[in-house]
Structure 1
Amino acid sequence: MRFDAGRALVIYAGALTAAVIWVGLGASAPAHRNARFATIDVGRINVREPDGTLRMTIASAAQAPGFIGGGEEYPRPDRRMAGMLFFNDEGTENGGLIFAGKDHDGKAVSGGSLTFDRYNQDQVVQLFGFEDGQERSAGIKVNDQPEGRLDFAAVDRVRTLPDNEQDAAYSAANVGGTQRLFAGRASDKSSQLVLRDGAGRKRLVLRVAEDGAASIEFVGADGKVQRTVRPTG
């Protein structure tokens, strides 16, 4: 049988075209398949909506993103913890879960934090645990944040300013939360409920010391205790 080069070329071209079409159809088909893996080693996972909007990241400390807001990512050199970050419907960061811990020259240094942010602002609720040697605290904090939206680009620029200009620049960028409530275990080993006014000043402190001594303190705007109530007897 004589080899027909022309016919062979036509058959080859047809087969190649069919293969390309098959691959293309498979790639464009809806991703409704479920996959199973025994183990996945990964530095970062991005969870996105069908339109590409980022909704959550799970990342190692080395691959943790910067601050993402308004469709832009800004450096966060202080973010050196593994964890998860949450993003709102618009793809702007609005909370997260971070954690770390190590033996630092014989001293335990550990911490974890779960936070939820105000819209286009910083955290308003924080559940945390912190340990640095013998100094330990854990509890929940509730914060106020400025009414204006956080100016993400301005915050990034503040780091380049001289130290004596940064406080005013942060305030202009609507940075500066005020703690209103703390409930938990303080570093002095007491359990406390601390209520603060709008300026962040302590005004009412309920405390139970490690030895069981209980007290209620009423604090003036000047920071001085005006009255202390203790159990009688």
Structure 2
Amino acid sequence: MYFIIDNNARGRKFRVSGIYNTGLAEFDEMYVFGDIRHIRKLNGWDETLVSGIEINLNDFSELNTMAEKVYDIIGYKLNTQTIKQLYPQIFDWIEIQDLNVLIILILMALVSGITMISTLLILILEHTRDIGMLKAMGATNASIRKIFIYASVNITFWGLLWGNSIALALIFLQKQFAFIPLPEDSYFVSSVPVAIGFPGILLINLATILICTIMMLIPSLVVRYISPVKAIRFE
């Protein structure tokens, strides 16, 4: 391996003990992990000198705050750079993926809501005679609406149960076997990365139940326009 220092090439022999692959060409083609003593010897540094120090954080949300604190400590002669400043294109790509996920979730919520509305309308039409008989027996519109809303919530619950079970099974299989591949050149990873976040799963499930229940209030209003006399004659 040759090092260019002050326009002079210096050759050194090394033994390659391993090859790493991050999926990021910027790292794989440019960076080599080695003993820092070789670099110090080539540059004439003592054991106290380094070209930079890398700080890892447990909480990524504190990135900018910690960068400012470190900058205040080291003084004006040195500089700090966050990983976002070093590799902005990677984080821009991640933000695009997050936006895509948000759009997909909104579309899925709309499709689910429309499906539930259609299902509830079908249930109401199928039980028109029953609704008429209940009204003739003194049942109020509110009490009849509650029956159909409870039925819709029950359908939503079982749908979520099956959906969560299938999703968790697929996530587990993907995590173990990586059966869904991705082109590394475009996505920086060789397979679809997955992780199970139970707080997020719980939040999505609660939001789904709440949104679907609210959307069920609209078709349930049809109950108040059903006449008992006409409903009993309804075929």
Per the normalisation by structure 1, the TM-score is 0.21
**Which gives a bigger RCO, structure 1 or 2 (Cα 8 Å, sep 6+)?**
2
Normalized per residue, the structure richer in strand is: 1
Per the normalisation by structure 2, the TM-score is 0.21
Normalized per residue, the structure richer in helix is: 2
- Higher Cα radius of gyration: 2
